[in-house]
Amino acid sequence: MPKQALRPLAAFLASVIVSIASAAPGYSIVGTQQDRCYDIDGRTIPCPVPGQALAGQDAASGGVAASYVDHGDGTVSDAVTGLMWAKAPIEDVAFADAAAMAKASRLGGHDDWRVPTVRELYSLIDFRGGFTGNPVTSRPYIDTRAFTFAYGAGTGLGDAARGRRPIDVQEWTSTRYVGRTMGRDETVFGVNFADGRIKGYPVMDPANRMLTPHRLALRLVRGPAYGANDFHAHGEMVEDRATGLAWQRGDSGTAVSWAKALEICDRLVLGGYDDWRLPTAKELHSIIDTTRVPALDPVFDLSDTAAYLWTSTTHLESPPPAAETAPFHARGELAIYFAAGPALGKVESPPGSGRRVWMDVHGAGAQRSDPKTATPGVWTEGFGPQGDDIRGANLAKCVRRAH
């Protein structure tokens, strides 16, 4: 069948997807697509069953498979969320121009494009991805069969002084951070499909503060509103009727290793249920509230308002070239967490002073990762260009499927 003949059918399917999503209560969380389990050293293992060590990992949790329809006109529909996306991002966009660019777009014949929220854009992330340090051998954190993606023009993992890196291909969302990063910067959250992270990015270029705007990519979206919660507390549990997930109202009480966090949730009996587990990255992100610090609705209790919260999702980044200086040495040795409080880093302040201080570098609600084997208290200077805080021990907040 000619491609031209397929386009009316594709348009009809898109309208059906949007209509169903608009009528359905709540919303569906697209799975992370992670399909393997890992040990704490990054080795692939058969997925443990409940009661075994390292049980409750992402790949064993049965997330909803992603399902995309490419309409052949530069647009892609997500059959799970009901959202329609631009197949390719617009490059080199200042945040101040993003909303107007979306409003002016007539991509695919539609006039209701918008800048996605962080929850919408994160719905596309695919945690089978991993950056090896070389774009040729890396896999993006987005389905490249449906979406267009390209690594940046940089040639290595050096800092900004050595030029733009291949992973510097972040995409804007419409979600502003309620605080400031680096002690002063107005900040907007972005998703990076090169390195699989959410971070807050300054509106103004950090290299030329208040002189030129920071420029990231922009992937437009249209369709029904996505990601609104409907929390109902029942004693020590909180049900989100929008997603069908039930949450532990509290948490583990103390920061623990990733392996211990999995064990705590696997063994938890709460509200008469014993099928609790550590949430996947996308499940935990479904309750992250970027309108506040800490980034959780007050219906939840946090034993530490500056906590980081573990997920069951392994982060498949490879060690940087200078692996001997890194806190991790094997692909799959990292596990994803969300910063409920400020996402700290130890950076030079003021620049050129030689004085390094801890500050909020990526914003409460950022998604980063810690080595599963990191010893708490060892990485006193952090790691990477922003001196990312490596704690090695984070809180666990458990989840189960209520319906």
Per-position pLDDT tens, the chain of length 403: 444 444 444 444 444 444 444 334 589 999 999 999 999 999 999 999 999 999 999 999 989 999 999 999 999 999 999 999 999 999 999 999 999 999 999 999 999 999 999 999 999 999 999 998 889 999 999 999 999 999 998 544 444 444 578 999 999 999 999 999 998 999 999 999 999 999 999 999 887 776 799 999 999 999 999 999 999 999 999 999 999 999 999 999 999 999 999 999 999 999 999 999 999 999 999 999 999 999 999 999 999 999 999 999 999 987 654 444 566 567 899 999 999 999 999 999 887 788 999 999 999 999 999 999 999 999 999 988 899 999 999 999 999 999 7
Which pLDDT score is estimated for 329? 61
What's the predicted TM-score (pTM) here?
A: 0.91
The span from the CA of 95 to the CA of 79, in Å, is: 28
The span from the CA of 390 to the CA of 378, in Å, is: 8
Which pLDDT score is estimated for 17? 43
**139 CB neighbour count, 10 Å cutoff:** 15
CA atoms within 13 A on the CB side of 72: 11
The span from the CA of 253 to the CA of 367, in Å, is: 21
Contacts of 157 (CB under 8 A, 6+ apart): 133, 165, 166, 167, 320, 321
Which pLDDT score is estimated for 328? 57
Which pLDDT score is estimated for 261? 98
The answer to whether 72 and 6 are in contact (CB under 8 A) is yes
**22 CB neighbour count, 10 Å cutoff:** 11
Question: Cα 340 vs. chain centroid, distance in angstroms?
Answer: 13
Which pLDDT score is estimated for 132? 87
DSSP 31: P
The answer to whether 292 and 300 are in contact (CB under 8 A) is no
Q: Which residues pair with 270 in a beta bridge?
A: 273
Which pLDDT score is estimated for 326? 60
Which pLDDT score is estimated for 160? 42
Q: In this structure, which long-range contacts are made by residues 206-214, counting pairs with CB atoms below 8 Å and at least 24 apart in sequence? A: 206/182, 207/160, 209/185, 213/94, 213/95, 213/96, 214/94, 214/95
The span from the CA of 2 to the CA of 6, in Å, is: 7
Kindly write down the DSSP assignment for every residue of 328-346, as one continuous string: --STT-EEEEEESS--EEE
